[in-house]
């Protein structure tokens, strides 16, 4: 029944996905009606208009978030998805906001994180409506606009709206995520040194978001003379070759400009990326430059946190991971933002204490943001119902998973992440040439229609 609906409407479904991907919904400066910028506001408006065209009830909650409803009653189950995306970054083969289709894949920032799953859930509601399904409880699809940053969207939304009795977010992978690591973003500040005998760092910057592995980092070094600049430029190129670092360097009079290119990835999976900030620090740590000991330290920061004394594995949610997301030199102070995903049995206080013991006294640590770990009982009605849906479609008996990701499942009671990435498919969130296979996208509509119906009747 739902499969026939998807087949009949396939061109329209795909066109709506392309239209949503074409909206550059990166958080920016506020505009009237759009506290997170024009792009996120346009994305929300488009989704609500699409729902209204099919006569579903919608609501825009002051431009922070919005929802689409199907069914009746006071209690509801929720599907939470987000329409904001991280910046496109560099290294794309396809236009990041083009919605290009090539070889069965649709490309664009947000294709799998999380515009595609949001569109899938919306069409799942349309399918239930057309089929005349009458769920026991109301189904509400909530669209957030600030998930990739500060979650002000859902915080504001639930000031005005009641919370659901349960639900899921299509913002991870199948079969299901029942536990999420804790998340902390820390800022480490180090005073810049003035050393007349050393080459002086004039500029340093890298990364755009804490929750992305930085793909580019840059520095300008003042060597005090043209001869010293040429010699240092040669040394940097040799060291970069030895370390297999992708480096572009340029000598300008007594200055050496350095640009290191890494590979972006989601901060919860730093091992998939190549951290340009850490690699640039490794280069700077080999030369007689100001803050040389700092560069050697930063260059040793591995993604398990061993160099900072915070490595830990609880055997359930997995090992701690760490991403040096951004770095800059400003007003005589170096600032590095670390995004850390820590195991469920670890506390933020323990983590901060351990790190403080490893860092020099003059280095200052500030906790910027923090979320406790999440764990839902794998034997709960919520988890068991969704796992039954998974088995119905995938025909395999598999256990639910844990993740280092942070999802909207934390925003409401009795919620987990359910899809949308299919098993054995690559994790492409926050990477260049992000895509979703069209067959998986269309199939997910059937899965979510079934999941919504089953949950609305079971909870």
Which is nearest to 122 in space by CA: 182, 58, 214? 58
Identify the CA nearest to 431 among candidates 421, 439, 441: 421
- The Cα 300–Cα 294 span in angstroms is 10
Distance CA 160, CA 157 (A): 6
- Strand 76-82 and strand 166-169: the pairing is parallel
Coil, strand or helix at 132:
coil
User: What are the structure tokens assigned to 264, written together?
Assistant: 């972006």
Q: Cα angle at 437 between 433 and 442, to 5 degrees?
A: 140
**Structural tokens at position 373:** 């770990």
- Residue 268 CA to residue 397 CA, distance in Å, equals 26
Give me the catalytic one of 147, 180, 434, 440: 147
Q: Are 310 and 340 in contact (CB under 8 A)?
A: yes
Evaluate whether 211 touches 232 at the Cβ level (below 8 Å): no
Is-catalytic flag, 147?
yes
Contact 172, 362 (CB under 8 A): no
The number of angstroms, rounded, from the C-alpha of 432 to the middle of its chain's C-alpha atoms is: 13
Residue in 24, 42, 84, 446 annotated catalytic: 84
170-179 b/e with 16+ CB inside 10 Å = b?
bbbbbbbbbb
In angstroms, the CA 310 to CA 7 distance is: 51
> What does the block give as tokens for 312?
């830990």
State how far the Cα of 66 lies from the Cα of 93, in Å rounded to an integer.
Answer: 33
Q: How far apart are CA 445 and CA 129, in angstroms?
A: 13
The answer to whether 169 touches 418, Cβ cutoff 8 Å, is yes
- Give bridge partners of residue 167 from the DSSP assignment: 78, 415
Query: Which positions are catalytic?
Result: 84, 147
């Amino acid at each position: 029944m739902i499969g026939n609906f998807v087949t009949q409407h396939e061109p329209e479904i795909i066109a709506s996905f392309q239209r949503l991907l074409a909206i550059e919904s990166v958080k920016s400066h506020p505009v009237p009606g759009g506290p997170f910028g024009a792009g996120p506001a346009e994305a929300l408006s488009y989704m609500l208009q699409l729902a209204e065209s099919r006569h579903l009830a919608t609501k825009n909650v002051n431009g922070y978030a919005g929802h689409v409803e199907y069914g009746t009653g006071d209690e509801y189950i929720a599907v939470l998805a987000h329409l904001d995306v991280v910046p496109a970054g560099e290294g794309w083969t396809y236009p990041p906001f083009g919605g290009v289709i090539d070889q069965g894949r649709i490309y664009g920032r947000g294709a799998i994180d999380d515009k595609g799953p949001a569109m899938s859930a919306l069409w799942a509601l349309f399918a239930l409506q057309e089929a005349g399904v009458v769920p026991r409880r109301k189904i509400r699809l909530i669209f957030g606009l600030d998930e990739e940053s500060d979650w002000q969207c859902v915080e504001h939304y639930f000031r005005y709206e009641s919370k659901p009795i349960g639900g899921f977010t299509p913002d991870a992978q199948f079969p299901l995520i029942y536990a999420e690591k804790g998340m902390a973003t820390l800022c480490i500040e180090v005073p810049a040194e003035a050393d007349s005998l050393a080459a002086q760092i004039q500029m340093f910057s890298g990364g755009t978001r804490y929750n992305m592995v930085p793909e580019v980092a840059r520095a300008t070094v003042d060597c005090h003379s043209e001869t010293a600049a040429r010699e240092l430029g040669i040394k940097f190129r040799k060291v970069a070759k030895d370390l297999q670092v992708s480096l572009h360097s340029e000598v300008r009079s007594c200055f050496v400009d350095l640009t290191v290119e890494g590979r972006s990835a989601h901060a919860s999976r730093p091992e998939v990326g190549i951290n340009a900030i850490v690699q640039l620090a490794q280069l700077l740590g080999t030369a007689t430059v100001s803050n040389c000991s700092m560069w050697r330290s930063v260059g040793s920061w591995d993604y398990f946190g061993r160099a900072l004394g915070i490595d830990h594995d609880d055997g359930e949610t997995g090992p701690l991971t760490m991403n040096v997301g951004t770095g800059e030199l400003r007003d005589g102070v170096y600032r590095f933002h670390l995004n850390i995903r820590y195991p469920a049995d670890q506390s933020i206080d323990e983590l901060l204490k351990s790190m403080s013991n490893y860092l020099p006294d003059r280095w200052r640590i500030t906790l910027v943001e923090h979320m406790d770990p999440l764990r839902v009982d794998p034997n709960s009605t919520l988890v068991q119902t969704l796992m039954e849906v998974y088995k119905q479609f995938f025909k395999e008996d598999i256990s639910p998973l844990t993740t280092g990701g942070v999802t909207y499942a934390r925003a409401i009671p009795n919620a987990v992440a359910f899809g949308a990435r299919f098993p054995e498919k690559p994790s492409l969130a926050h990477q260049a040439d992000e895509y979703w296979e069209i067959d998986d996208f269309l199939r997910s509509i059937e899965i979510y229609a079934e999941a919504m119906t089953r949950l609305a009747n079971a909870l």
